[in-house]
Amino acid sequence: MDILHLVDRLEELFNESRPIPFTNNVVVDEDRMLDLIDQMRVAIPDQVKKAQKLVAERDRTLAQAQEEAQRTLQLARDKGEGLVERDSIVEAAQARADQILEQAQLDAEATRREADRYVLEELTNLEIELERVLNQVRNGIRALREPHGANPQTDEDSPE
């Protein structure tokens, strides 16, 4: 399941929660909240798997380019064996193979950078959202632990 969908569901749970009068806190359905948090824990590896697929795709592209470069070089060698100008053909093929390989490496590096950027962005967004939800949960817990209608000054004066 998409992590952003789960965050939306968590926010929906928060918005459906009953407010505690005279506070900024709400009472949250603990079972639903914990279920969503568990689903988030499962979904995070899915986001990482997507990034790994991008990296694997980059590696496949590089391998294909190397294979194509080798085939081009071998083809040039095979065709050029009978020719007097064999060296120039092989050099041209080698230059073309090197060019293909260099471009494939540039493409693979660009794909890796994009995958890294995507993963960093997704994990950063997740961290921010989880911190926001955690703060809301802590506020709710704190509100439930405080006696109803307690005067904050009285709480400080009373021993724990």
pLDDT digits over 86-125, tens only? 677 778 889 999 999 999 999 989 998 998 899 889 889 8
Per-residue pLDDT, 77: 78
Single pTM value for the model: 0.42
Decide if pLDDT at 81 tops 60: yes
Could you tell me if residue 69 is inside a domain? yes
Residue 60 carries which DSSP code? Answer: H
Could you tell me if residue 68 is inside a domain? yes
Could you tell me if residue 111 is inside a domain? yes
Average pLDDT, the chain: 84
Could you tell me if residue 153 is inside a domain? no
User: Quick one: what percent of the chain has pLDDT higher than 70?
Assistant: 87
Per-residue pLDDT, 75: 86
Per-residue pLDDT, 160: 47
Which segment of 17-21, 68-72, 82-86, 97-101 scores lowest on mean pLDDT? Answer: 82-86
Give the pLDDT mean for 35-45.
86
Helix (H, G, I), strand (E, B) or coil at 2: coil
Could you tell me if residue 16 is inside a domain? yes
* 11, amino acid identity: E
Strand partners, 26: 19
Could you tell me if residue 154 is inside a domain? no
CA distances from 72 to 68, 69, 99, 107, 142 (A): 6, 5, 11, 19, 69
**How many independent structural domains does the chain possess?**
1
Could you tell me if residue 155 is inside a domain? no
Element counts in the chain: helices (H) and strands (E): 4, 2
Query: What domain range includes position 59?
Result: 3-145
Strand partners, 18: 27
